[in-house]
């Protein structure tokens, strides 16, 4: 036993300096004790697990133990070696550090002190390609690696997040029950399931975040239109969102939107939202989602517009210069009352369905490319609780995939086709109003354009193929014959088989 390897039992916390040999006594370890890591460690402890805790600087470890040591049984460790020694076999360690180089550093340090068969779980927002690389590198050293997406923010980490673990199924069998026990539960079902091999868990978490971006952007556009067209101020608008939260739109993001809108700034006495600088930040997961979608060739236009809208909001010099640009003739409807509010609600719901449909398409494409065999209905199931995009309507996604696991698009499921049919007129009116009022609504419009694109029998892509053949002899297919064709554009313009 080393001097710093102390076990803090809840019963003896009053005189917490009691030291016992704790070698191999912890069920799980958490390294990286910023808010997310600390809260997950507390969540494990509250579920009855003995949790070894470690942080690069011991200040955070001590703060956790001093403030929340009574949550359960913790084992305080100072070095990675002590941390490893405290864990029972096979060792299970959850890494909760910043994505990128810091994660690599901790994983390598753990691998140096772990034995064959021990398990490292990366619970950060890692880029899935990093997870694929790490899983491979660890497998070569005999160490089992799980890349687990964890969503829910600080509160979810403590009370029950949604967890998306990827890695070998045999590794999930060892840690799955523990992860499921700390996850959120909806109707008794854990919001945690094995996603697939290597980077699948982090991939799915990345798309979750992309959908989160899209959902937030759409809510932002609804707010902008309700305020700019219907003149509803933030306080009363909070009530609109509260009302929406009792129906189809029932979701965490709608719920917190009402909270934010209702918040009064102590200094000015006005709405807090009016004193927050209108430049949205981003840590990168939305951008990663779009980059991956570009590589996969999947149109995630709702997510892309959301990422670009954040970028536009932060384009300070361009916005400054843009302020003097002419609006042209703009007008708002003379009446924008309850009917307009209902139109916006429907436009929001329809656009949200598109965002999910696109995100699930991206997951389908990646699952095929990487051989992950992701069960899409399971994702809808584990996103119903704990995570940021948790929403009542995920139940309908779950049912849609249960009825038809091979659905080509979510929009083809009867429930969603009917929901869109119910919303489409409102949706068109809202996009039209946004355009005539000069209010940017890229999320609503891109979603509607995607919907119309899928509906359209003959797209102008035929003309694009003709253009490509004209300047680059790229050939085209014909609607009435098999094979590839080329027109001799600079010759006699007859057609030849390519």
Whether the Cβ atoms of residue 165 and residue 101 lie closer than 8 Å to each other = no
Check 135, 212, 221, 248 and give the catalytic one: 212
Of 171, 251, 285, 292, which one interacts with ligand 6PG (CB under 6 A)?
285
CA 193 – CA 5 distance, rounded (Å):
33
The helix or strand, by DSSP H or E, that contains position 287, with its residue range, turns out to be helix 285-296
Give the range of 60-68, 147-155, 224-232, 253-261 binding ligand 6PG by CB under 6 A: 147-155
Q: How does strand 144-151 pair with strand 162-166?
A: antiparallel
Distance separating alpha carbons of residues 286 and 302, to the nearest angstrom: 11
Q: % helix / strand / coil in the chain, to the nearest 5?
A: 55, 10, 35
The torsion angle over the Cα atoms of residues 55, 60, 66 and 72, rounded to 10 degrees, is -40
Q: Which stretch binds ligand 6PG (CB under 6 A): 148-156, 252-260, 334-342, 474-482?
A: 148-156
Q: Is 205 a catalytic residue?
A: yes
| One residue of 90, 100, 102, 153 binding ligand 6PG per CB under 6 A | 153
Alpha helices for 48-161 (secondary structure H): 58-68, 80-86, 101-113, 128-140, 153-159
If one asks whether residue 37 binds ligand 6PG (CB under 6 A), the answer comes out as no
Task: Assess contact for 203 and 166: CB atoms under 8 A.
Answer: yes
Binding-site string for ligand 6PG from residue 322 to residue 351, where x marks contact by CB under 6 A and - marks none = ------------------------------
Distance CA(355)–CA(96), nearest Å, equals 29
User: 323 catalytic, yes or no?
Assistant: no
Contact 479, 468 (CB under 8 A): no
Provide the CB-side half-sphere exposure for 416 (13 A, CA): 27
Applying CB under 6 A, which part among 247-255, 278-286, 340-348, 351-359 lies near ligand 6PG? 278-286
CB of 345 to ligand 6PG, least distance (A): 24
Asked if 451 contacts 425 with a C-beta cutoff of 8 angstroms, the reply is no
Question: What CA–CA distance (Å, rounded) separates 489 from 469?
Answer: 8
CA distance 135 to 107: 10
**Which region among 134-142, 279-287, 295-303, 484-492 touches ligand 6PG (by CB under 6 A)?**
279-287
Alpha-carbon gap, residue 32 to 56, rounded angstroms: 7
* List 158, 218, 387, 407, residue binding ligand 6PG (CB under 6 A): 387
Q: Work out which of 141, 279, 283, 319 binds ligand 6PG, going by CB under 6 A.
A: 283
Q: Please give the structure tokens belonging to residue 220.
A: 């932002």
- Find the catalytic residue in 7, 60, 205, 352: 205
Interface residue with ligand 6PG among 281, 317, 408, 491 (CB under 6 A) is: 281
Helix (H, G, I), strand (E, B) or coil at 402: helix
Which residue, 283 or 319, has its beta carbon nearer to ligand 6PG?
283
In the complex with ligand 6PG, the residue whose CB is nearer, 149 or 196, is 149
279 binds ligand 6PG (CB under 6 A): no
Q: Which stretch binds ligand 6PG (CB under 6 A): 281-289, 293-301, 399-407, 426-434?
A: 281-289
281/297 with CB nearer ligand 6PG: 281
Distances (CA, A) of 470 to 43, 250, 464: 63, 51, 10
- The answer to whether the bond into 76 is cis (omega within 30° of 0) is no
Instruction: Decide: is 307 part of the binding site for ligand 6PG (CB under 6 A).
Output: no
Minimum distance, C-beta of residue 387 to ligand 6PG, in the bound complex (Å): 5
Task: Name which of residues 212 to 251 contact ligand 6PG (CB under 6 A).
Answer: 212
By C-beta, is 271 or 286 nearer to ligand 6PG?
A: 286
- Residue 192 interacts with ligand 6PG (CB under 6 A): yes or no: no
Closest CB 154 distance from ligand 6PG, rounded Å: 9
Binding of ligand 6PG by 388 (CB under 6 A): yes
Give the number of residues in contact with ligand 6PG, rule: CB under 6 A.
13
Closest distance between ligand 6PG and the C-beta of residue 204, in Å?
Answer: 11
The binder of ligand 6PG chosen from 31, 103, 171, 209 (CB under 6 A):
209
State CA 391 to chain mean position distance. Answer: 13
Paired tokens of 102: 């810091």
Instruction: Show which residues are catalytic.
Output: 205, 212
**Chain contacts with ligand 6PG (rule: CB under 6 A):** 125, 151-153, 209, 212, 281-283, 285-286, 387-388
């Amino acid at each position: 036993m080393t001097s710093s390897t102390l076990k803090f039992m809840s019963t003896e916390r009053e005189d917490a300096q009691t030291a016992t040999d704790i070698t191999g006594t912890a069920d799980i370890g958490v390294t990286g004790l910023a808010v997310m890591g600390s809260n997950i460690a507390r969540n494990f402890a509250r579920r009855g697990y003995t949790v070894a805790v470690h942080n690069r600087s011991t200040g955070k470890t001590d703060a956790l133990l001093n403030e929340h040591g009574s949550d359960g049984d913790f084992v305080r460790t100072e070095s990675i070696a002590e941390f490893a020694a405290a864990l029972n076999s096979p060792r299970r360690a959850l890494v909760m550090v910043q994505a990128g180089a810091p994660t690599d550093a901790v994983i390598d340090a753990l691998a140096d002190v772990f034995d064959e068969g021990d398990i490292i779980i990366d619970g950060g927002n890692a880029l899935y390609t990093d997870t694929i690389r790490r899983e491979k590198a660890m497998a070569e050293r005999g160490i089992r690696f799980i890349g687990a997406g964890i969503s829910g923010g600080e509160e979810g980490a403590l009370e029950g997040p949604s967890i998306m673990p990827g890695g070998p199924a045999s590794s999930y069998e060892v840690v799955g029950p523990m992860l499921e026990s700390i996850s959120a539960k909806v109707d008794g079902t854990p919001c945690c399931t094995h996603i697939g091999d290597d980077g699948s868990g982090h991939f799915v978490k990345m798309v979750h975040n992309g959908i989160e971006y899209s959902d937030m952007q759409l809510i932002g556009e609804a707010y902008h239109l309700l305020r700019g067209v219907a003149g509803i101020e933030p306080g009363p608008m909070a009530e609109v969102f509260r009302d929406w939260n009792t129906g189809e739109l029932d979701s965490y993001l709608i719920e917190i939107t009402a909270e934010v809108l209702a918040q009064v700034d102590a200094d000015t006495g006005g709405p807090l939202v009016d004193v927050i600088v209108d430049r949205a930040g981003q840590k990168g997961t939305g951008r990663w989602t779009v980059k991956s979608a570009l590589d996969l060739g999947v149109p995630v236009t709702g997510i892309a517009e959301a990422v670009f809208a954040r970028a536009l909001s932060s384009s300070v010099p361009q916005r400054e210069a843009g302020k003097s640009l002419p609006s042209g003739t703009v007008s708002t409807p003379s009446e924008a009352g309850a009917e307009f509010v209902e139109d916006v609600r429907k436009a929001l719901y329809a656009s949200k369905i598109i965002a999910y449909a696109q995100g699930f398409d991206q997951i389908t494409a990646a699952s095929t490319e990487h051989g992950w065999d992701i069960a899409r209905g399971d994702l809808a199931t584990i996103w119903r609780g704990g995570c940021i995009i948790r929403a009542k309507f995920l139940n309908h996604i779950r049912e849609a995939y249960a009825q038809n696991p091979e659905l080509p698009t979510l929009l083809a499921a009867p429930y969603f086709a009917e929901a869109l049919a119910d919303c489409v007129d409102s949706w068109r009116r809202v996009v039209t109003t946004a355009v005539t009022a000069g209010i940017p609504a890229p999320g609503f419009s891109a979603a509607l354009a995607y919907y119309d694109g899928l509906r359209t029998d003959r797209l102008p892509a035929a003309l694009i193929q003709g253009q490509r053949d004209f300047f680059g002899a790229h050939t085209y297919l014909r609607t009435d014959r098999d094979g590839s064709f080329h027109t001799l554009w600079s010759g006699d313009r007859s057609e030849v088989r390519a």
